[in-house]
């Protein structure tokens, strides 16, 4: 497809909401709160924010610059600026999109199911047993397929008619819901301990290698970085868009929603005396603890539960869309397929790849580990090196539409030195653990 026929966003707001929609998702609510719980509360949050600003933000801007400049999907954009030696990085991006969406959609399926259960009568009964039922087997697979079908339908409709329209519709609702839930959580008696846990620093934790690696993986996941999702969205932008501002808006919205989601989850858990469950937190924690909390709230429980899980679904959908869009854009540009065909065929392949995650939360956990701690961090590292050291004059491309910006020099320094150094350290720390968890999965079965 020639670049003249390339689709474009109909408005700046449309692009921004779609990009924020990509960033804000299960990562902000499910992943952020369980990692925060697992890694000692506020100390983790501080490291996470620091890495988001010093490493995530510069790489986000780099993705936007490459995407808008090239007006191509990731593989072609990298080849356009760097020649065919950079093609494998593009392939890594698409592969990561495949893998992440396959298990992301499984979790989104759980949330869909929980939202439905809330509507149909609440969360009575044993929450752990319920989670076991919802999160594995045909139940999980069925809701995963349902969620994938929705994602495929929207991506198949294109940038304006599908992706942009969905973001314009859902993101404001999501924002209101999350804020409303945070206010509600603050009215619960005993919520104070939750704020203390969430916001009080434990400095002994702050720079352990584990906290730093988990925080880096989370920063990349939450910003949708390291696999060309933001690059792909930026490739549908006109040349005059202010990219530095866009990167700031996206990063701060993402941080804000994650922070507010913590203000929902922690007070609620502590108010209901479920703190013990937090410390043994795993991928399933939110799905076991919070329904228990809602069940104890009496009459308002089902309604609160529905709103909470509905917020998760609304957050997950635009994120899943952006993951599928990377794969679809690659198939349109690279294989010459039309959009509906690309969406359906790739969506089906991803749905099948998600089956192991639907049958085992252990497999899901390892997929998440591999995707974040290996693929996204490697992708981010290579992209920082590419734009920082190899791409010709990225600053003049970034400056188009943003003439007055004074921090391009800082951007360059962060991209060239700070981001690669931090990412090399993190990868060095994370790789042995990730391989150990893969081996444990193999051995354990
Ligand atoms: N950022 C999303 C979330 O927080 C998930 C996501 C969407 C993503 N697109 C991505 C993660 C690309 C990594 C790469 O839920």
pLDDT in tens, 69-112: 999 999 999 999 999 999 999 999 999 999 999 999 999 999 99
Closest atom of ligand 1 to CA, residue 372: 13
Cα–Cα distance, 356 to 137 (Å, whole number): 9
- Per the CB < 8 A criterion, the answer to whether 41 and 198 are in contact is yes
List all residues 6 or more positions away from 253 whose beta carbon is below 8 Å from its beta carbon. Answer: 20, 23, 24
222 CA distance to ligand 1 middle (Å)? 6
Is the beta carbon of 36 within 6 A of some atom in ligand 1?
no
Task: Grade residue 128 by pLDDT with cuts at 50, 70 and 90.
Answer: confident
Cα–Cα distance, 421 to 292 (Å, whole number): 43
CA distances from 432 to 155, 211, 308, 358, 436 (A): 37, 15, 36, 26, 6
Average pLDDT, stretch 172-187?
A: 95
Phi-psi sector, 72: left (phi>0), alpha (psi -120 to 50), beta? beta
- Per the CB < 8 A criterion, the answer to whether 123 and 130 are in contact is yes
Q: State yes or no: pLDDT of 281 exceeds 90.
A: no
Tell me the pTM.
Answer: 0.95
374 CA distance to ligand 1 middle (Å)? 15
- Residue 4: predicted pLDDT: 47
- Pinpoint the alpha helices (H) of 336-418: 339-353, 355-359, 361-369, 377-385, 394-399, 408-413
Lowest mean pLDDT among 60-64, 118-122, 256-260, 345-349: 118-122
Cα–Cα distance, 365 to 134 (Å, whole number): 16
Cα–Cα distance, 241 to 402 (Å, whole number): 8
Is the beta carbon of 26 within 6 A of some atom in ligand 1?
yes
Lowest mean pLDDT among 18-22, 244-248, 270-274, 320-324: 270-274
pLDDT tens for residues 409-428?
Answer: 999 999 999 999 999 999 99
Closest atom of ligand 1 to CA, residue 28: 4
| Angle, alpha carbons 12-17-21 (nearest 5°) | 150
- Provide the mean pLDDT of the chain: 92
- Residue 278: predicted pLDDT: 59
Q: Which of 96, 322, 328 to mutate to test the pocket of ligand 1 (most atoms within 8 A of CB)?
A: 322
Is the beta carbon of 381 within 6 A of some atom in ligand 1?
no
| Angle, alpha carbons 315-318-320 (nearest 5°) | 100
Cα–Cα distance, 417 to 427 (Å, whole number): 16
């Amino acid at each position: 497809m020639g670049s003249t026929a390339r689709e474009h966003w109909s408005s700046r707001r449309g692009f921004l909401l779609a990009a924020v929609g990509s960033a804000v998702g299960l990562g902000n609510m499910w992943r952020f709160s369980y990692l925060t719980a697992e890694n000692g509360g506020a100390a983790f949050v501080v490291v996470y924010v620091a890495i988001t600003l010093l490493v995530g933000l510069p790489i986000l801007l780099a993705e936007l610059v490459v995407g808008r400049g090239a007006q191509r999907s990731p593989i072609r954009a990298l080849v356009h600026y760097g020649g065919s030696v950079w093609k494998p990085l593009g392939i890594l991006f698409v592969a990561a999109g495949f893998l992440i969406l396959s298990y992301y959609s499984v979790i989104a399926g759980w949330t869909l199911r929980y939202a439905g259960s809330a509507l149909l009568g609440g969360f009575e009964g044993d929450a752990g047993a319920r989670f076991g039922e919802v999160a594995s087997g045909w139940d999980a697979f069925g809701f995963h397929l349902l969620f994938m079908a929705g994602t495929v339908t929207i991506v198949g409709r294109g940038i304006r008619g599908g992706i942009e329209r969905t973001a314009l519709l859902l993101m404001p609702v999501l924002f209101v819901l999350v804020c409303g839930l945070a206010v509600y959580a603050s009215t619960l008696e005993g919520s104070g301990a939750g704020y203390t846990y969430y916001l009080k620093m434990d400095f002994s934790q702050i720079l352990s290698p584990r906290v730093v690696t988990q925080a880096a993986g989370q920063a990349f996941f939450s910003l949708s970085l390291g696999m060309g999702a933001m690059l792909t969205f930026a490739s549908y932008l006109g040349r005059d868009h202010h990219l530095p501002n866009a990167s700031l808006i996206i990063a701060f919205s993402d941080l804000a929603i994650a922070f507010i989601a913590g203000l929902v989850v922690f007070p609620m858990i502590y108010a209901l005396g479920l703190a013990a469950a937090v410390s043994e937190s795993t991928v399933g924690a939110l799905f076991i603890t919070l329904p228990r909390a809602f069940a104890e709230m009496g009459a308002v429980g089902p309604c609160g539960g529905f709103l909470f899980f509905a917020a998760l679904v609304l957050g997950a959908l635009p994120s899943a869309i952006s993951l599928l869009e990377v794969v679809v854009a690659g198939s349109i540009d690279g294989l010459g397929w039309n959009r509906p065909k690309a969406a359906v065929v790739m969506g089906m392949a991803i749905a099948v790849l998600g089956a192991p995650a639907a049958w085992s939360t252990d497999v899901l956990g390892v997929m998440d580990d591999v995707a974040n701690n290996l693929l996204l961090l490697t992708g981010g590292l290579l992209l920082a090196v590419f734009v920082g050291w190899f791409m010709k004059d990225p600053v003049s491309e970034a400056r188009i539409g943003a003439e007055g910006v004074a921090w391009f020099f800082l951007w360059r320094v962060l991209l060239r030195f700070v981001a690669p150094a931090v990412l090399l350290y993190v990868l060095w720390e994370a790789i042995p653990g990730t391989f150990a968890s893969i081996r444990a999965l193999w051995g354990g079965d």
